[in-house]
Amino acid sequence: MVEEKNTKFCSNCGVEIDKKAKICPKCGVEQPIIPEKVSNWWYFAPLFLGIVGGLIAWIVNKDTNPKKARKLLVIGIVIPILYILAYFLIIGSIFTVSMSGAREKARDAQRQSDIRQISLAMEMYYDENGAYATAKNMDGLKNQGLELYLVTIPKDPLNDEDYSYYFINNTSDSQRYCVYAELEGGGFFTASREGTFTITNKPSANNLDCGR
């Protein structure tokens, strides 16, 4: 087995120095940080512990891979915000419309939150792989490795064929995707590389930008 080398060369004077050295002991020039591989298991910390998990992941990895450490921290901040937004959307609906209308709006709020979570998982997958997860439909998406960023693919709150989640076949273009939900209140809530939007018409079967 080849022993891993624990030295590197100074970016300024070229002298061989310790791999972890931040400043060259010979010329005194600060050395650029060489990102090290960070295990994908760290994504579970912010996913399950929120801000606390993101902060822990950032502290542990900020010196070895600052870019990924910042990403873990951001995920730890974003996930609780998504749940808080979904919670207040549901609560707001209950107190502003009739009970029947409130249930409809609450389900639509849940659909929007679910689509945002799927979108976040797709972007995290892209960041790690340089391409989006590909599938022919929503069922096919379940076995594409998203479980690392999304424990389960969410289901429609009604589990009704009239209101469901859809994924447009992107097996021929891994640089784009379109996932959307039909809303009971009308329209479709979509997510793609362009962001999340509510549109009037259902995205066409070959539009991987969801009509944007």
63-88 pLDDT tens trace: 667 777 778 778 777 777 877 887 77
143 occurs within a structural domain: no
178 occurs within a structural domain: no
Question: Backbone phi, then psi, for 195, in 5-degree steps?
Answer: 120, -165
- Kindly report the pTM of this predicted structure: 0.56
- Number of structural domains (the chain) is 1
Instruction: Express each pLDDT in 139-192 by its tens digit.
Output: 888 777 777 777 778 888 887 666 788 999 999 999 999 999 999 889 999 999
81 occurs within a structural domain: no
10 occurs within a structural domain: yes
Q: Which long-range contacts (CB under 8 A, 24 or more apart) does 82-85 make?
A: 82/113, 82/116, 82/117, 82/120, 83/113, 85/113
Domain containing 1: what range?
A: 1-32
94 occurs within a structural domain: no
106 occurs within a structural domain: no
133 occurs within a structural domain: no
44 occurs within a structural domain: no
